[in-house]
Structure 1
Amino acid sequence: MRVTVIAGGVGGARFLRGLRSHLREAYPNGDGGSTAEITAVVNTGDDMWLTGLRVCPDLDSIMYTLGGANDDERGWGRQGESERVSAELTAYGIGWPWFTLGDLDLGTHIARSSFLRDGLTLTEATARLSERWPLGVRLLPMSDQPVETHVEIVVDGKRRIVHFEEWWVKHRAAVPAQRFIQVGVDAAHPTPAVLHAIEHADVIVVAPSNPVVSIGTVLGVPGMRAALKAAKAPVVGVSPIISGAAVRGMADACLTAIGVETTAVAVGKHYGSRARGGLLDAWLIDETDAPGAAVLAAAGIPTTVVPLWMNDPATSAQLAADALAAARR
């Protein structure tokens, strides 16, 4: 069993953790692992150079979560962090004082930046970073070419283009986004490893990540949609919207900016039926959104109604099992 997951951020990390747990039970290898293979194709649109370091928020959130080092209470960063270095950087007047990087987290960014300056690709650097953690998942950046999501906003009557993290963290997405700009995407392409993971997958899952700035950014890489449409494996999506609200974060602000309602039905239709030129062969929605299943079916998207809340490892593993069952159907 080879499962490829298109993922970004906290929702993707928690789904992958549940998928790993389920596959270890369903396909045990006798050593506590699994004979199944999981590959995560991860959004890198949140990436940036900050204080001379390459920061990759989604890759790191997933790596820390799978490695057992993520701060689950905050939802990001490392457990047991201190912030002495960030305080020093602020005192020197560099960096973003509203975007605090912990000391342990900075170690990751220093190592990644060193690898990149030594000539490694981001894929190779990610593999090197992953070696120290018992991930059970292969992490692949969506592209080795840098792509950064920027946001056009209006502040005090003036139009500004800011990095996505400034809009997301500093402004808490409270300033309406006029549009999202994927800087560098035209020159990007999926890596051979990403294309191989899609082509040879038995199941492809679109994780419950932000449909616009996580999944949407991955799909925006030239060649990515074509690879998914040509894949032999079924493509199953998990809704990040439950009862008309984002499970986590401020995805509603992103959806509003592109004219999509914050509902499981609207996001499913936004992705579209693969049989009709879209992305999905199946879509999972929560029990509270069950009335929308008929609407989605009419749009050519077979829909399964299951509990979507990933409240603990058991419910996350069950959601992963439900996604794979939907793929088999």
Structure 2
Amino acid sequence: MADERCKVVLLAGGVGGAKMAEGLDGLDDIDLAIIGNVADDAEFHGLWVSPDIDTVTYTLAERIDRKQGWGVADESHRALSVLAELGKDAWMSLGDRDFGLHIYRTERIRNGDRRSEIAADVAKAFGVKSRILLPTDDILQTQIKTDPGWMSFQEYFVREACRPDVQDIRFEGAEKAQATPEALAAIAEADLIVIAPSNPLVSIAPILSVIGMKQALQAAAAPKIAVSPIIAGKVVKGPADRMMASLGLEATALGVARHYADLADAIVIDRQDAALEASVEALGLRCIVDDILMKNREDKLRLARFVVDCAALPASRRACA
């Protein structure tokens, strides 16, 4: 791994996934392939919107709105304001530049193009050097069950602002969704597989629900390292801790480790959670303790370098310190 570019596959969704992607993308000795979450995708105003894929793409293209962590920087919302004026639901915040991408994607889907090819072409046009791969070209959508009943993830996340308690989660279309050959090839050829500090339940689990994906990951020869999205019982951004608690899961780094125990070889947790190290290792996972909060680009690069280096060193936390 030291003599050539390390082939890294990153499973990623949401802001945490985009941050990890940015760190790995910034390492010169890394050949990065990102398998993103497509289960947040939905149709709005006749256009197909892919929030997690777009967040990763905008981040690596230096177009992201850094303040909110999603959407496009220097954005306006004139089109959305017109839709609202005409009586259309406008709770899904789509900026004018963002609309341009959704129009492009939708037109190509209607022309019969593969969604994987569309995502790759967008990334190339925007100057992204890493490969952005889709786990499936089929429609896969996260559904959330709350007191009022089942709703789409975007309805729960954006319209309801994550307020309702989550009673159940399902991935509509998972029984038919086939893994893309690009994603399967990247996994088989990887030197390292990283699970980003994304929501385990609605960012990573949908990827694993695709037919053939989890089996390919389990069969891969590459070491698999997860990074906890929870620090001291709280997430940096998003509803992962509340969702886990609502479903009766332990909303800690240990709870995350349990979730990945049948997939990952190791998990990186924050120094604030160092007391959980023995409990994590009792699950059969190697536990690596470090500072994992990514507040700026330097933090992202440092954590990415740390994770890659740990994969190449003996299975000792001290060796990675």
Q: TM-score range, shorter-chain basis?
A: over 0.9
Match of 1:16 among 5, 21, 25: 21
Aligned counterparts of 2:165 and 2:94: Cα–Cα separation in 1: 26
Report the RMSD for the aligned CA atoms in angstroms.
Answer: 1.1
Give the aligned partner of residue 318 of structure 2.
none
Task: Judge conservation of contact 1:198–1:227 (CA < 8 Å) in 2.
Answer: yes
Per-residue deviation, 1:93: 2.4
Q: 1:236 aligns with which of 225, 229, 253?
A: 225
CA distance in 2, matches of 1:195, 1:12: 19
1:61 counterpart (55, 73, 77): 55
Instruction: Give 1:286's aligned residue.
Output: 270
Partner of 1:270: 259
What corresponds to 1:252 in structure 2? 241
Matched, 1:103 2:96: yes
Tell me the CA shift for residue 222 of structure 1: 1.8
Q: Distance in 2 between matches of 1:257 and 1:45?
A: 21
Partners of 1:218 and 1:200 in 2: CA distance: 18
- Distance in 2, matches of 1:254 and 1:178, equals 9
1:310 Cα offset (Å): 0.6
Map 1:196-235 onto structure 2 (within 5 A). Answer: 196-235=185-224
Q: Distance in 2 between matches of 1:233 and 1:295?
A: 24
Report the 3-state secondary structure (helix = DSSP H, G, I; strand = E; otherwise coil) of the residue aligned with 2:93: coil
Describe the superposition over 1:210-260 as per-residue Cα deviations: whole angstroms up to 9, x where unpaired: 110000111111211100000010000000000110121111122124321
1:81 to partner: Cα distance: 0.6
Q: Do residues 138 (structure 1) and 127 (structure 2) align?
A: no
| Corresponding position: 1:299 with 2:283 | yes
Alpha-carbon contact 1:260-1:270 (below 8 Å) kept: no
SS at match of 1:212: helix
- Contact 1:260 1:267 (C-alpha < 8 Å) held by counterparts: no
Q: Deviations over 1:82-116 (max 9, x none)?
A: 1010011122223x321120000000100001111
1:52 aligns with 2:46: yes
2:284 maps to amino acid: G
Which amino acid letter does the alignment assign opposite residue 40 of structure 1? I
State whether structure 2 residue 12 is matched by structure 1 residue 7: yes
TM-score, normalised relative to structure 2: 0.94
Paired residue total: 308
| Superimposed CA distance per residue, residues 18-38 of structure 1 (whole angstroms, 9 cap, x where no aligned partner) | 1111x22xx2xxxxxxxx310
> CA–CA distance in 1 between the matches of 2:124 and 2:70?
20
2:297 corresponds to: 313
The equivalent position to 2:82 in structure 1, one of 77, 80, 88, is: 88
CA offsets 1:26-78 (integer angstroms, 9 cap, x no match): x2xxxxxxxx3100000001000111100000000000000001001011100
Question: Contact 2:166/2:247 (CA < 8 Å) preserved in 1?
Answer: no
Q: Which runs of 4+ in 1 moved over 6 A?
A: none
% same residue: 37
Given that residues 241 and 252 in structure 2 are in contact (C-alpha distance below 8 angstroms), is that contact kept between their aligned partners in structure 1? Answer: no
Q: Distance in 1 between matches of 2:142 and 2:164?
A: 16
Give the SS at the match of 1:79. Answer: coil
Q: State which drifts further: 254-263 or 2-11.
A: 254-263
Counterpart for residue 170 of structure 2: 181
Helix, strand or coil at the partner of 1:172: coil
Query: What's the CA shift for 1:299?
Result: 1.2
CA distance in 1: counterparts of 2:247 and 2:307, whole angstroms: 27
The offset of 1:326, in angstroms, is 2.3
* Distance (Å, rounded) in 1 between the aligned partners of 2:144 and 2:281: 34
How far apart in 2 are the matches of 1:89 and 1:322? 47
TM-score normalised according to structure 1 size = 0.91
Judge which range, 164-173 or 207-216, deviates more.
164-173
- Structure 1 stretches of 5 or more lacking a match? 28-35, 273-277
CA–CA distance in structure 1, aligned partners of residues 300 and 280 of structure 2: 24
Distance in 2 of aligned mates of 1:271 and 1:303: 12
Residue of 121, 141, 144 corresponding to 2:114:
121
Q: Is the 8 A contact 1:236 1:326 kept in 2?
A: no
